[in-house]
Structure formats: structure tokens, C-alpha cells
Structure 1
Amino acid sequence: MPNHTSIYENEAEKYHELISKQADLDLWIEEIRPLNGLDIVDLGAGTGRFTASLAAKAKSIIALDASEAMLRITADRLTQAGLTNWRTQASDHRKLPLEDQSADLIVAGWSICYLGSTNVQDWEQNIHQVIGEIKRVLRSNGTVIIFETLGTGHDTPTAPDFLKSYYSMLVNNYGFSHKWIRTDYTFDSLLQAEELTRFFFGEELAERVINQNLVHLPECAGIWWLQLPQV
């Protein structure tokens, strides 16, 4: 399996090329929480998958990520779009550089999982810290929406074994609602599909792409969300 930490630091442009082959997810977010006029935080913003599209409707948006290289692409995209209601900052999900009750909406896409994998030491404490920070930063009636993988190359949800306990914790310990959606990739060619799949997902899936001619690569994702009570 490729080293994702290295990819995020050293190959951010190629990672952005990969995720650009997926459809926007704004409608799924707006179905849970309308965006107009909100102060938004994007955790694990990466190259701006959410930030770049949400910023146009937000009052303000803060993009946080562990990788400065990824955030530079986000900043370039927002600048090129002529937007000024944003800032980026490198940070750890377990200690957010944000004031108490300063956000209406927090979105986190495919990033908390790196702290919640059962392959990681103290993963349960990690999730406790992350959820605690999210609740600290959200205002009364604030909303958190988390996207995570339910299987690339699968037509129906197939959660990785090492993430099942984290997903269960979100529902059973913290009261999140959840559903699943499709987040398929549509590549320009089989060559591109093979190259980008091998780059991020590894040899096994890349070989499937070649053997099954998967220019359209299925993927499932889970959405977990929680709204804080009105105080």
C-alpha cells in the first residue's frame, strides 16, 4: 500500500489530479446543513476538495491540514477564484488552532480515519480528542459532517476492517447519524485510471483496473453527521 503521508507531503499535485476525477459533494453536505452565511471549518482539507466549493457560499472558511504542501494548492485555488473569506493553517485534528464556539459547520473528509484506524496506537483516545475538539469549536446548533471510505473498487459498502470500530464508535458512543453514497472516479482513459489508482491505492486495485477496464471506478463512502443542541 502506498505511503499516504509521503504522498500528501511530496506529491500533492498528483493527489489533486486523482480527486478531481470525482464529482462534487456539495449537495450531500447541503442536504444536511444549508451553507449560506456559515462560518465553516474544513478538517483535513487537503487540496481543497471541499474548501474550494464551499467557500463561495460561506461567510468564512478555514482549511486545516497536517500537510503544508496540500494547503498551498488549496490557497492557490481560492486565490485564483478571487475569494477572500478564507485562511489555511497546518494543524493536528486533536488540537485545533481555533477559538471556542467559533464555527457553525465542520466538515472532515477522509482524514480522521488516519487517527481512528485500529492499526494506530491509542486510536480510541485519538477519536475522543478529535470529537472533543470539534464540539469545543462548534457553536450552539452547530453541525459536524464526516466523510470516510467504505471501499474503493466496490459497488456496495465494504468498510475496511481496521476502520469498522471507529465507524461504530461514531454511532454508538457519540450519537452520529449515518448513510452511504457513491463517490466513483471517472477517468479520461484506462492509462490514467491505472496510473492514478496505482499511485494512491496500490498494485492490487491497479491490476483490477487493467483487467476489468475500469475507466469508471466505483467507490463507496460513508457520511456521518451530528448536530449539537440549540442552547
Structure 2
Amino acid sequence: MPQMDHNLVYQKEADQYHLLISKQPQLADVVNSIRACSGLDIVDLGAGTGRLTAALAPYAKSIKALDASAAMLQVNASRLLKGGFANWTTAVADLRKLPLEDQSADLIVAGWSICYLASDNDPRWKNNLQEVMAEMHRVLRPNGAIVIFETMGTGTAAPNPPGFLKPYYSMLVERYGFSHKWIRTDYQFESPEQAEELARFFFGDELADEVREQALSVVPECAGVWWLNRSSHSK
């Protein structure tokens, strides 16, 4: 999360980042349990290298992948092409100003992305979050749904979210009316050596040293899932 310069990673090391997240479980079942995705027009915000895009493309009528990093979207597009999908588009975008028409999506997903605008390290975080929410509601159709994934802690088997994200998480529920649960998204690495290398690359020395000391090939992680069905909530 924002304690490291992840924006630089997303711009310069998209392939290495994708190797890291490829060691986590697929999340299509989680999304489908909240809103059945078959035949929907889906938007993936902060889509990155396609963790959610590739998982949901087999179900979607269409899927639009938006991200601030062109390098990440290139990896995403390559994966979709290799998968034989033709129902997708990508675009570089700011989540506060989506290049999408009003009421053009049935489902909006956002994985580990809104947090970069909503960390309370940023004095504008509340305004950023309000702008993102307004854009999602603008794009969402009646009876549409929003599903947001964010970190609840890496290297921990129980939820332990970063302090700088707790106000954002509280606001999702208390102000914006989202329901919430948490899940495990453990990394299953090929070896302790790979686990240490990739943990150090993205999460930093403290976690990587712990992985090395314990010779871990499985690194626990928790994720929060927030969802909102527009049919039962107002803006």
C-alpha cells in the first residue's frame, strides 16, 4: 500500500507485479456470489494487470478495464488477447473522472485501487472518495451493483488493516451504505525464495525478512469486500 512507491511499480514493473498477484486465488466466485455476472456490462476500476478483468471476462457481455497506468493495462490486454476474449476494452483513466457514458454499466468492480485516493495521508481523501463514488453512481444503471476489494493486511491470518485506510473503510459503510465482509487471499508461492523475493519487491523489508526467517512459501493475506446494490440504496 502507500508506504512504498507503488505508483512507480505500476508504471515500471508491471510484469513483476503481475507475477506477484498471480499467486493469489481467483475472485470470480466472490463477485458472482454478490452479483451474478453472466451477460452484464462490467467496468473494472484500477484494473491493473487484470486480476479481476481476466476473471470476469468469461461471464461478461462486455468489460471495460480502466487504470492510471498504461503499462499495467498492456499486460491486462495481452492476457485477454491470449484468452481469446473479444468483449473488452482498456483505457487510461483517473477514477475521479471516468471516460464512460451515464448508466452504461451493470456492475462496477474496483480491486485494491480506490485506496490510493482515499488514504487519510492525503488531506483531500474525503473529496477524492466523494468524486469516485459520484462517478460510479453516474455510470451505474438502475439495479446495478458495486463491489470493492481492499487490503485488510498482508502477512496476517486475521484482519489487520493499515491505520491510514481505516477511516476510508468506515466511511464506505457509515456514509455510503456498503455491506462488508472479509476473505483470505493468501499467496501460494513456488518456494520460500520466490516468496521472499516478491514480498521484498512489493511489501518491503519487514515482511520479506519475516518470510525468510520462517521459510514461508504461503504468505497469509486478508482482503475486505464491500458491496452495494443500487436498487436498495440511494446516492
Q: TM-score, length-normalised on structure 2?
A: 0.97
Identity of aligned residues (%): 61
CA RMSD of aligned residues (A): 1.0
Aligned equivalents of 1:191 and 1:213: distance in 2?
8
Say yes or no: does 1:99 pair with 2:104.
no
User: Which contiguous aligned blocks of 4+ residues in structure 1 show a shift greater than 2 angstroms?
Assistant: none
Of 125, 142, 154, which aligns to 2:156?
154
Aligned equivalents of 1:37 and 1:4: distance in 2?
34
Map of 1:137 onto structure 2: 139
- The Cα of 1:121 is off from its aligned counterpart by 2.4
Say yes or no: does 1:209 pair with 2:199.
no
Please say if residues 37 and 59 of structure 1, whose CA atoms lie closer than 8 Å, have aligned partners that are also in contact. yes
- The Cα of 1:82 is off from its aligned counterpart by 1.2
Cα deviation, 1:164-223, whole Å, max 9, x if unaligned, reads 000000000010000000000000011100000000000000000011122100000000
Unaligned runs of at least 5 residues, structure 1: none
Aligned equivalents of 1:212 and 1:17: distance in 2?
22
Report SS of the residue matched to 1:143: strand
Please say if residues 190 and 213 of structure 1, whose CA atoms lie closer than 8 Å, have aligned partners that are also in contact. yes
Aligned equivalents of 1:53 and 1:114: distance in 2?
23
Of 97, 118, 121, which aligns to 1:119?
121
- The Cα of 1:56 is off from its aligned counterpart by 1.1
Report SS of the residue matched to 1:229: helix
Say yes or no: does 1:54 pair with 2:56.
yes
Map of 1:74 onto structure 2: 76
Which residue identity lines up with residue 44 of structure 1 in the other structure?
G
Map of 1:86 onto structure 2: 88
Aligned equivalents of 2:79 and 2:50: distance in 1?
8
Which residue identity lines up with residue 147 of structure 1 in the other structure?
F
- The Cα of 1:2 is off from its aligned counterpart by 3.2
Report SS of the residue matched to 1:36: coil
